[in-house]
Chain A
Amino acid sequence: MLKAIGVSSIEELFADIPQGLRLDRPLDVGPALTESELVAHLSELASRNVHVDRELSFLGAGMYDHYVPAVVDMLMQRGELLTAYTPYQPEMSQGVLQAIFEYQTAICELTGMDVSNASGYDGTTVAADACYVAKLATRRQKVVLAETLNPQARQVVRTFAPGFGMEVVEVAQKDGVIDPDELAAAADGAALVIFQQPNFFGILEDAPALAAAANGAGALAVAHVDLMSLGVLEAPGVYGADMAIGEGQSAGNHLSYGGPHYGFLASKTDLARQLPGRIVGETVDRQGQRAFVLTLQTREQHIRREKATSNITSNQTLLALGGLAYLSWLGPQGLAEVGERSLALAEHAKKRLGLPPAFDRPTFREFVVRTGRPASEVIDEAKRRGVHPGYPIGRDYPGLDDALMIAFTEKRTADDIERLADVLAGAGVEVHA
């Protein structure tokens, strides 16, 4: 090969790199491992993590332990999908393109929207994406966030809003929810309002009133929703939201210590040309056959450069397609059952534990209770007995240091709730006998 190139050594190929900039020693990255050595090393690391099947876990707070069926892994391990890239060449990529089109359809059906992109990075970054969409669509600069929106999503918006030339205002929660009148006042002159349903506390907001408050002020109403709630709860598009965004992990992705997962972002038709990222559309090829392509590409960075609606290239396609496989496995009936049964378990646990609620409000599959002592101590003691009893929400909301947020999925059972009650009682929490 060197002869064909016309050089005598590999070294010569790097002649353009100034001598002083060449590394004169081997990289210090540890010795090369064989495959079996690598597996042993990583197995040892993995063994030091307490995953959800090594304890009884009631953790949620944005990431949920719903069952991920084998068919999801089957899709994500198909080499033709796993090892392809963005479908720039439609003839080579009809499989991924059609699957994205089917995913977009599922997201639109669940959220009551007209257009979905091919995915965003996660449930936090799509909140920042929504701000940029709203800025382009309304020419306004104010972002209004509900304090009951996921704290990490609010933090990501705060990181990027200054670069977008936007200011951020938060509407404080009152007894666990957002007051529609306060939201309407804050939304005056705003580009968008982002609220969450069910909210971060697991509480059901009066979402139709919140959407109306935003719309009344001429701001886009953006609902941050959980796909797994949408077999039971109303679709945001039906109650007046202009956009629906959220974290897709609960619908078909393994927990994976926080990623990679998919964020979803969908809107009504009038915002289609402001949306970020890839969108797949149906068309026909030269023989008149149905074909799928990346479309509305004049929004995108490779064409519009600094005038693009976002800088997104790589997104989370494979994870989103895992979501499609999961939602197809569930079907509408299965989705409703997962939602109803998670809700039923949560309601049963509320009664069984009998702890004072932090907020006396209807909830979905997660709720916040007062434990009467610092939540971190309760967690430490419960974990010694093999139970992770929930999320210490005082981490995000001052004044709730003695509160635990307890989450339920269809994987938990009534017996698990008995064990939780026992363990909390053992940790000095006054549960019902």
Chain B
Amino acid sequence: MKLIYEKSKPGRRASAVPDPGLPAGDVPEGLRRSAPPRLPEMAEPELVRHITELSTRNFGIDTGFYPLGSCTMKYNPRVNERVVGLPGFRDLHPHQRDEDAQGALELMWRLQEILAEVVGLHAVTLQPAAGSQGELTGLTLIRAYFEDRGEGDQRREIVIPDTAHGTNPASVAMAGYNLVRVKVDDRGNIDLDDLRAKVGPQTAGLMITNPSTLGLFEESIEEIQKIFHSAGALLYYDGANLNAVCGISRPGDMGFDVLHFNLHKTFSQPHGGGGPGAGSVAVRDILEPFLPTPVVVREGDSYRLDHDRPKSIGRVRGFAGPFGVFVRAYAFIRMWGPGLREMSETAVLNANYMLARLRDAYELPYDRTCMHEFVLSARNLKREHGVTALDVAKRLMDHGFHPPTVYFPLVVPEALMIEPTETEAKETLDAFCDAMLSIAKEAETDQQVLKDAPHSRPVSRPDEAQAAKRMHVRHTFEEAPA
């Protein structure tokens, strides 16, 4: 398909800009643009067709099943798009006075209260822009807490298990902490002996996901909590997998002191081809004074943004956060109500059902009841037939499914990480399992069809090495149209 720039024709345009009929303003010599930017020039029908053509070459949840492990690709209710488009939300300027933004502030305050209740913690900031920024915010809060106690120089280490998302170690480095890795035992839990050896007065905190990226609940969480708290350290909960435990078990009750939500995962902000997200952070009372400013507070029947927090770590993003995501998350939660528990139960049921259907055809590295997702290994197919997890993923595309997450977590070779979410019908789960079983059969009989997959997509196995080497990352206006 041609690039939009290759469809461009000089002099065409879709826009008409109101003319105020005023004399042109001056721009000082040397600051005026010397050559116009080569933006596309096209009429609106061509522009709309271009966007539509791009869409047809993309696959979303609206297209079909998208069991991308750890990403919680659930159906995004359409009503959320309607309410986020209400002019009172969509066209509200963020510098509007608090008294003229009461509806927005009340929505944010209510969302803070609900999120605190869901995780059993005391206070919430909605400001962080995404899960990763929530991590960095949470770690910065931990640092501020220890600096306030005079322990900032002493506590320099954050402990992370081998199963962690890549964002965790990256966030630890960006927060200025040293990383200490802890092993996972043969049940997929954190190895307690290894942990005890690594936690002490130098430890600031532990950062884990629970259930872990293996889709397993950390069985020794109570003991882990004691190890850290008795060493004076704090516990950070990566909320990426919160979809497993809403209304069932709360991180605050497990002993966690600070966590981030991924509102786009658990509470259904559409993922937008890579964003937006929201990484709201909840904390125990000891960390509340350090929350980023501004904080939404309620006073009687009115709401305001509180900028006066002397111990605050400061601002982590512009304004009060990604407000449109808050509208969608709030809408999503209000439609479930206390039924959020049923949401998580169904997600866990769906995952275990798929696991039961697939466990004999693929290797199961940790044989336990899973939570909302599970990790299989294609190691058996690779060993016996030379077929890899990547081949399985590509062949699934020919069956009309988005593949699961592959090659993560790193502790499982040839990993296939499958997360169905609660919004899929049993027929869909069965169809996907049938496809996985048929691929395992194909691995025995026709490896080449797997190696050549996908056969049904607009492109097949692009050359990533060449892309990195060539570094062709923008159109250069030199090539002839394809």
- Do A and B share a complex? yes
Q: CA A69 – CA B17 in complex, angstroms?
A: 11
- B322 pairs with A105, CB closer than 8 A: no
Q: How many A-B residue pairs have CB under 8 A?
A: 669
| Shortest Cβ distance from residue B32 to the other chain A in the assembled complex, whole angstroms | 7
**Stretch of B127-135, B190-198, B379-387, B442-450 on the interface side:** B127-135
- A21 pairs with B349, CB closer than 8 A: no
- B393 pairs with A49, CB closer than 8 A: no
- B59 pairs with A260, CB closer than 8 A: no
Q: Give the interface centre of B58, B173, B174, B219 by most chain A CB atoms within 10 Å.
A: B58
- Chain A residue with Cβ nearest B276: A260
Q: A51 near B: Cβ within 8 Å? A: yes
- B275 pairs with A318, CB closer than 8 A: yes
Q: CA A5 – CA B106 in complex, angstroms?
A: 44
- B467 pairs with A49, CB closer than 8 A: no
Q: A172 near B: Cβ within 8 Å? A: no
A24-37 vs B, Cβ < 8 Å mask (1 yes, 0 no): 00111111111100
- B334 pairs with A30, CB closer than 8 A: yes
**Stretch of A184-192, A216-224, A249-257 on the interface side:** A249-257
Q: B411 near A: Cβ within 8 Å? A: no
- A115 pairs with B474, CB closer than 8 A: yes
A96-114 vs B, Cβ < 8 Å mask (1 yes, 0 no): 1011111011101110001
Q: CA A122 – CA B94 in complex, angstroms?
A: 14
B window 56-87: CB within 8 A of A: 56-63, 66, 68, 71, 73, 76, 79, 81-87
Contacts of B92 in A (CB 8 A): 49-52, 255-257
**Given A232-B27, A285-B462, A315-B274, 13 more contacts at CB 8 Å?**
A16-B369, A27-B341, A42-B89, A59-B93, A123-B318, A124-B318, A125-B129, A159-B315, A282-B467, A286-B461, A319-B276, A328-B47, A344-B22
Given the known inter-chain contacts A81-B60, A89-B402, A255-B93, please indicate yes or no for A121 contacting B48, CB distance below 8 A: no
Q: A292 near B: Cβ within 8 Å? A: yes
- B86 pairs with A43, CB closer than 8 A: yes
Given the known inter-chain contacts A80-B59, A204-B28, A344-B20, please indicate yes or no for A59 contacting B95, CB distance below 8 A: yes
* Residue in contact with A234 in the complex, picked from B19, B32, B42, B275, CB distance below 8 Å: B32
| Shortest Cβ distance from residue B201 to the other chain A in the assembled complex, whole angstroms | 21
- A279 pairs with B473, CB closer than 8 A: yes
A window 48-106: CB within 8 A of B: 48-53, 57, 59, 61-63, 65, 69, 71, 73-96, 98-102, 104-106
- B27 pairs with A260, CB closer than 8 A: no
Can you spell out 19 A-B residue pairs with CB atoms less than 8 angstroms apart? Answer: A14-B249, A17-B245, A29-B114, A61-B95, A82-B273, A83-B66, A83-B76, A89-B393, A94-B57, A94-B459, A96-B54, A125-B318, A160-B174, A231-B36, A254-B90, A257-B89, A286-B461, A318-B275, A332-B39
- Chain B residue with Cβ nearest A20: B222
Q: CA A156 – CA B336 in complex, angstroms?
A: 35
**Stretch of B226-234, B280-288, B352-360 on the interface side:** B352-360
Q: B117 near A: Cβ within 8 Å? A: yes
- B66 pairs with A85, CB closer than 8 A: yes
| Shortest Cβ distance from residue A282 to the other chain B in the assembled complex, whole angstroms | 4
The 9 closest A-B pairs by CB, nearest first: A258-B319, A318-B272, A46-B88, A79-B62, A32-B337, A95-B58, A258-B94, A83-B60, A317-B274
Q: CA A289 – CA B2 in complex, angstroms?
A: 11
A279-312 vs B, Cβ < 8 Å mask (1 yes, 0 no): 1111111110111110111101111111110111
